[in-house]
Structure 1
Amino acid sequence: MTGREAPAITVAGLRVQFGAVEAVSGVDLTVGAGQAVGLLGRNGAGKSTTMRVLAGVVPPTSGRVEVCGRDVRTEPIEVKRLVGYCPDVGGLVPRATPWEHLQLSARLRRLTDWEPQARDLLERFGLGDVAHRVTAGFSHGMSRRLSVVLAALHEPAVLLLDEPFDGVDPTGVEATMDVVDDARARGAAVLISTHLRDLAVQACSEVSVLRGGARVATVEAAAMAGEEGARAYRALLG
């Protein structure tokens, strides 16, 4: 990203309050086109809430949040068109098959010639054999894999993956890494929330650490690698 290019994701002074609970208390974050950034932190650090705001699911209480120059507060529909979002939990219809999920997504986004891409993603994620089986019987890992497929189908400008590696087998991890690489190669911005530090280091160029709803540091991903990175991470968590 050059100095003249606006970031694909801009978060400045984000605060999100649910009643008396402040889930996010001051997050600043930028992600440029072609960049992958990881969000690390303990449960309750504000990672998923930040992702939900960027996806247009939860409104910000205050602060500035933009996706490709679109304000999530005033242009939520446009933001949702630009984003591919894998939520941390839920998002699937138990009585629908993976193929029906993909059909619905394609219809809502008015995609044409989407079927080859859908079949390729299902095969890459090891879901080809269960494409016409209802998701009610899926394991947690299978559901995670399908959620990433749905997020990636329309090749969005911004890819938001919330805990995409949770409970996922090596095939799913590798396929997710490939999706991230493909997105970056075509100039998309990627934000990955995960509690798995090693995978964040592998997938991302930078890592932002959240603690208590606020960002405490943004560092090169390599600084979080290995035993030295583990010590640095524990120090940031306090």
Structure 2
Amino acid sequence: MSARTDTAAQAAIGAAARELHLPTVRTEADRLAEIAVRERQTHLVFLAEVLATEVDERSERRRQRRITEARFPRLKRLSEFNLDVVPTIAPTQLAALASGTYLDAGEPVVLLGDSGTGKTHLLIGLGLAACEQGRRVRYVTCAHLVNELVEAADERALSRVVGRYARLDLLLLDELGYVQIDPRGAELLFQIITEREERASIGIGTNLPFSEWGSVFGDPRLVAAIVDRVTFNAHILETGTQSYRLRTSKTTSRSKKTG
């Protein structure tokens, strides 16, 4: 009789879980019930465990979805960044950014440094930290974003694309300065930046000092307007001129030899 009752209960739980869109309850109910019997849990404790498992699983799925939607080229965490080889960045400064308070204030972050100095690692690390805090993030190179905007404008879909980027909590714009942007693309990129001004954060990785941004955008007035917007209340981190990857490799090699 008990076995038939349990079988009926399992079927009822499965049907109800599907109706209520509770997939974790459906898959985990039996296992949690066995634990409840073994640990002599009350009905309320068992119910709390079942619901907590569903909530935790949903939170994990949302976290994974945010990370996927961010389109990172690879996953890099801030904790993996070796600050010893980039002394221009203070640990307290990086820790403050990792906390995400700059996102609440809609403040920009600009990473200045030569190629290979860790700018992309830091951008991805900041983005990943933001995803894990429940923020909407997107990583994109400057050239890719400009191409996307130009195509959207040609297809009369620019407002939709601009709106999608405007809804992000953090836009990570990497490799600014590697490719020259024509006047039309520069104006479209300016529109994206303006939409976020003092409202939502933008993180920029560039190999050029602000004084040389004119070589990318051309129009002096547009350059001045862009620099003004991305530097107002900005967190500016200089990663230097020596390759972070090379120095990290040397540090790792020395550690292995001494070990």
Whether these two folds match at TM > 0.5 is no
Which TM-score bucket, shorter chain as reference? 0.3 to 0.5
Q: Which structure has the higher relative contact order (CA within 8 Å, separation 6+)?
A: 1
TM-score normalized with structure 2 length: 0.40
Q: Which has the larger radius of gyration?
A: 2
Which is helix-richer, 1 or 2? 2
Larger strand percent: 1
TM-score, normalised to structure 1, is 0.43
